Amino acid sequence: MLTLAMAGSSAAQADTQDDKPFEFGVISQRSPLLTAQYWNPILIYVSKISGVPLRLRVGKSGVETNAMINHGTVDFIYSNHIFHPENDGAGYRVIARDGTKAISGQIVVPKASQIRNLKELTGKSVAFPSKVAFVGYMVPILALHEAKVEVVTRFAGNQEGAMGQLASGTAEAIGVNSEVMREFAEREKFAYRVIWSSKPYLSMPIAAKSSVPSAAVEAVRNALIGMKQDPEGRKILETCAKIIGDKSIEGFEPASDGHYEEQKRLYRLVVKMTEKAS
Amino acid sequence: MNKGSYFNRGKLSLAVRLLIGVGLVMLIVGSLMVIMVLRADIKMEKEQFSRRASEQADFIRMSITEMALVGDYATIRQMLRSRVQDEALDRITWSDDEGKTIKEESKELLDTVPEWFVQFVGITPIIESSVIEVGGAHYGVVTIQMSPTSVVKRIYGRMLIGIESTVFAMVILFSLIAIVTARSLGPLKLLEAAAQEIEKGNYSVRVTPGGSSEVRGPIMAFNAMATQIEVLLGQMRKLAGRMEKAREEQNKSIARELHDSLGGNLTMLKLGLGRLSEIAGEDHKCQPKIKSLLDLSDSTIHLVRDLTAALRPSMLDSLGVLPTIKWYAGEFSRMTGIECQVDLCKDAVCSKEHSTALFRVVQEALTNVARHSNASRVFINACEEEGKLVVEIVDNGKGMAEVINKDVSNGTNSFGIIGMRERTQFMQGEFDISSVPGRGTTVAISIPIGKT
C-alpha cells in the first residue's frame, strides 16, 4: 500500500525508521470510506509539512478502534476512547484537538416521532455507536440512568451506523455526537428532533503514543495546528469539510491531557455504574 | 419414342426449376440474414463486453475499498472469490502500487465453442485495472481479467438458434411454396399428357381446367384448339370420304362404259372378223391378216377386262370384300411373283362403302409390299374379333426404319400410308403399322362390323 511519506522536515524524518509510516488511528464516527475521504487529505498534508509519514488506520467500529488503542497498535489517535479506564496503560497523551469549539451528547428522534422526552423512551429501542463512545454513549446513558429510564440498547458500530438505524426505523432514538449528527442530517437531508442534550464538552482530542519520538510528535502537532493558517492547509480543510457536510472550517487547536479531566471522570463514573448494574 | 418429341425436351420441370430457384434465393437470403444478425450481435456484445469490464473493475474497486481501509482481508478474499464466479471473469487481482499481489482469485473457464467461431467473433480477453484511491491515498490496484468465452458462447448459442429458426422458417416457407406450386402447376401435367394424346392422334382428349389462372387459360385454349382440330379433321374425313366415293363411282362408271361399250364393240368386232374369215374361206390369202386381227381383238378384250377389274372389281358388289381380297391376292401373286397366302374368315360382312375402302387399303398395302419391301412372301389374315373385322397384311421384307403412325405426315412422302389411315378412319376403324428393320412390316386394320 502506498505510504504517505513525503519529503519534509529533516529532524522529524531522522526519527522515522526505514520510512515506515506512523499509524494514525481515527475513530469511526462515520463509515470507514467517508472517514478515509475526510482524513487522508489531511494526513497527506500533515505528512508533507511535518516530514513524518503518516498512514491512516480506521477501525470497522468503535470497539475495534478501542482495541487499537488498548493494544497500542496506532501511533497517533483521534478519539475520546483514550480516556476509558481500560486504556489507562496504553500510554497516549493529548497533543491537539479538533478545532470544533464544543461537542455535546444528544438523544435524538426522527422529526415525525411522537416521543418528546426521556421518560417516553422507557422500553424503547435506543441505538448507540458503541459501548466506549463518549458523547455517543457514556454521556447519554448516564442521563438516562439519572432519569431512571430503562431502554433497550443497541450498538451500531459507529455514529453514522446509529443514525442509519434511526433513519430506517430500526431504532426509535439514538445517542449521538451533536456535531456528527448535524453534519449527517445536512448531508443526508434527514430531519430530526433533539429530546435531550448534554452540556458542551471539549472536542475530540488527538493523542500520540509515548513511544513516538518527541520530534515527530511535535512536527505533527505543529503541522496540524498550523493547517488553518496555511492557504494550502485551509483549502484541504474546506474540501474535507464539504465531504462530511460541514460548513465551518475549524482546523485543529492545541490541547493537552489536562483539558480532558471531565471526560476521564465521566468515563469512570459510567463504567462503575455499569459494573454495579451488572 | 419419336425423335424430336417436344414433350421430351428439358431435363427439369418448371415446378422443379422454380422450387430450386426459390430454394436458392431463400438459402442466400437466410444466410445473409443470419450473417447480418450475427455481425450486429457481435458488435453489440463487443461493446457490452468492453463496457462491462470497466464496470466490473469499478464495482470491485468500490466493493473492496472500505474493506481495504479497515484491513479486512478475509472479507476481501471472500468478496473476490464470490465475484470471480461471474461468468465473464476469470481472474481478479488486488495488488499494491509496486505490483505485488495482495490477493488473487481465478477460475478455469471451459471453452465449448469451436475455435473457428472464436476466431470469427474476434473478441479478445480484456485486462482492466482500477486504482483504489481515497482522499488522495492509494490502497492498491484492482485488476480483472475478463475472458470472452462466455460472450462467445452466448453469441454462438444465439447463432445456432438463429440458424435453426431460419432453417425452420425456410422449410415451412419452402413447403408452402412447393404445395402452392404443385397445386398451381399440377394441371400442366394433365395438359402435357393430353398433348401427348393429341400427338398420338387422339383428338377427343380434353383437360379439366384447374390450378392457377395462368394455367387455366392455356388449358382452355388447348381444349378449344383440340375441339377445332377435331372438327377440322371430321370435315376433312367427310371430304375425303366423298372424294373417295366420287372416285369409286367414277371408276365404276368408267369400268361399266369400258365393259359395256368398248367391251361390246370389241366383241362385235371379234364376231365380225370371225364371220369375215368364214366368208373368205380357209385358203383365202387374207386369212393370216384376219387371224392377226382376231388375236388383237382377244388381247384388247382381255386388256379391257383387266382395266375394268382394276378400276373396280365387279365382284366387290357381287361377292363382297373378302372374296375380292382373295381374288386380288391371286392376281397380285401372279403379277409380282411374290407368294401370297390368304387366311380369311367366311362370314364377315361389310357395308358397300366399307367394302370398297377396306379393299383399297389392302390393295395399297400390297402395292407397298411390291414397291418397297423386297419381300418374297406376304400373308393376309382377316378375322372377326369382338364385333370388329381385323385384317393384317404381314410381309417378310426389309421393314422400315421409321413408321408413320400419325394422322399428319411428318414431312415425309408417305401419302400411301396417310391414305390408308384416312380410309380406315372413314370406316371409324383403327389403323396401325409396325415394322422392325430386316424383319418385315405388319399393317393392321380394324373396323367395326355392322356399322354402316
In chain B, % of residues over pLDDT 90:
18
pLDDT at A277 over 80: no
pLDDT at A3 over 60: no
- In this predicted structure, what is the pLDDT of residue B100? 86
What's the average model confidence in pLDDT over B376-381?
95
Task: Give A24-35 pLDDT, tens digit per residue.
Answer: 999 887 888 888
- In this predicted structure, what is the pLDDT of residue B253? 85
Q: Does B402 touch chain A (CB under 8 A)?
A: no
CA distance B234 to B228: 10
- Helix (H) / strand (E) element for A192: namely strand A192-197
pLDDT at A72 over 80: yes
- In this predicted structure, what is the pLDDT of residue B409? 42
- In this predicted structure, what is the pLDDT of residue B414? 67
Strands B388-395 and B441-448 come out as antiparallel
**Interface touch A37/B135, C-beta < 8 Å:** yes
The DSSP letter of residue B319 is: T
Chain A residue with Cα closest to B135: A37
Helix locations, B369-438, DSSP H: 415-426
pLDDT at A247 over 80: no
Q: How far is the alpha carbon of A272 from chain B, nearest alpha carbon, in Å?
A: 31
What's the average model confidence in pLDDT over B352-370?
89
- In this predicted structure, what is the pLDDT of residue B309? 78
pLDDT at A15 over 50: no
Higher pLDDT among residues A68 and B107, named by residue = A68
Collect all residues of chain B within an 8 Å Cβ-Cβ radius of residue A39: 135
Collect all residues of chain A within an 8 Å Cβ-Cβ radius of residue B137: 2, 4, 36, 40, 43-44, 56
- In this predicted structure, what is the pLDDT of residue A278? 67
- In this predicted structure, what is the pLDDT of residue A62? 80
Exposed/middle/buried for A145, CB within 10 Å: 0-12, 13-18, 19+? middle
**Interface touch B66/A41, C-beta < 8 Å:** no
What's the average model confidence in pLDDT over B279-283?
85
Q: How many residues does chain B have?
A: 452
Query: Mutual orientation of helices B352-368 and B321-336 as an angle, nearest 10°?
Result: 20
- In this predicted structure, what is the pLDDT of residue B1? 40
pLDDT at A10 over 50: no
Task: Give A108-127 pLDDT, tens digit per residue.
Answer: 999 999 999 999 999 999 99
In chain A, % of residues over pLDDT 90:
67
Q: How far is the alpha carbon of A13 from chain B, nearest alpha carbon, in Å?
A: 20
Higher pLDDT among residues A177 and B186, named by residue = A177
For B178, other C-beta atoms within 10 Å of its C-beta total: 16
pLDDT at A7 over 70: no
pLDDT at B16 over 90: no
Please report which confidence band the pLDDT of residue A147 belongs to, taking 50, 70 and 90 as the band edges: very high
Collect all residues of chain B within an 8 Å Cβ-Cβ radius of residue A160: none
Q: Under a CB-based contact definition with an 8 Å cutoff, are residues A218 and A55 in contact? A: no
CA distance A158 to A130: 6
| A39, A60, A64 ranked by CB distance to B135: nearest | A39
Task: Give B217-248 pLDDT, tens digit per residue.
Answer: 889 999 999 999 989 988 887 887 788 788 87
Q: The whole model's pTM is what?
A: 0.57
First to last CA, chain A: 44
Average per-residue pLDDT for chain A:
88
Higher pLDDT among residues B4 and A24, named by residue = A24
Average per-residue pLDDT for chain B:
84
Collect all residues of chain B within an 8 Å Cβ-Cβ radius of residue A33: 65-66, 69, 134
HSE (CB half, 13 Å, CA atoms) of A77?
30
**Interface touch B135/A1, C-beta < 8 Å:** no
- In this predicted structure, what is the pLDDT of residue A199? 93
**Interface touch B66/A37, C-beta < 8 Å:** no
| A56, A64, A240 ranked by CB distance to B137: nearest | A56
What's the average model confidence in pLDDT over B26-33?
90
Q: Copy the grid coordinates of residue B214.
A: 395462368
Higher pLDDT among residues B425 and A164, named by residue = A164
**Interface touch A56/B65, C-beta < 8 Å:** no
Chain B residue with Cα closest to A68: B70
What's the average model confidence in pLDDT over B343-361?
82
Residue B40 region, left (φ>0) first, then alpha (ψ -120 to 50), else beta?
alpha
**Residue bearing cell 400442366:** B188
- In this predicted structure, what is the pLDDT of residue B110? 67
Q: Does B203 touch chain A (CB under 8 A)?
A: no
In chain B, % of residues over pLDDT 70:
93
- Helix (H) / strand (E) element for B45: namely helix B14-70
What's the average model confidence in pLDDT over B29-54?
89
- In this predicted structure, what is the pLDDT of residue B450? 63
Task: Give A189-238 pLDDT, tens digit per residue.
Answer: 999 999 999 999 999 999 999 999 999 999 999 999 999 999 999 999 99
CA angle B5, B10, B14 (to 5 degrees): 120
Higher pLDDT among residues B447 and A28, named by residue = B447
Higher pLDDT among residues B135 and A213, named by residue = A213
pLDDT at B88 over 90: no
Higher pLDDT among residues B51 and B350, named by residue = B51
Collect all residues of chain B within an 8 Å Cβ-Cβ radius of residue A64: 70
Instruction: Determine the 3-state secondary structure of A208 from DSSP.
Output: strand
The DSSP letter of residue B449 is: S
Please report which confidence band the pLDDT of residue B411 belongs to, taking 50, 70 and 90 as the band edges: very low
Q: B332: which strand partners?
A: none
- In this predicted structure, what is the pLDDT of residue B242? 84
Interface test with B, best of A3, A29, A33 (most B CBs within 10 A): A33
Chain B residue with Cα closest to A42: B135
The DSSP letter of residue B123 is: P
Q: What is the dihedral of CA B282, B284, B288, B292, to 10 degrees?
A: -80
Task: Give B54-84 pLDDT, tens digit per residue.
Answer: 888 888 888 888 888 888 888 888 888 888 8
- In this predicted structure, what is the pLDDT of residue B187? 84
pLDDT at B301 over 60: yes
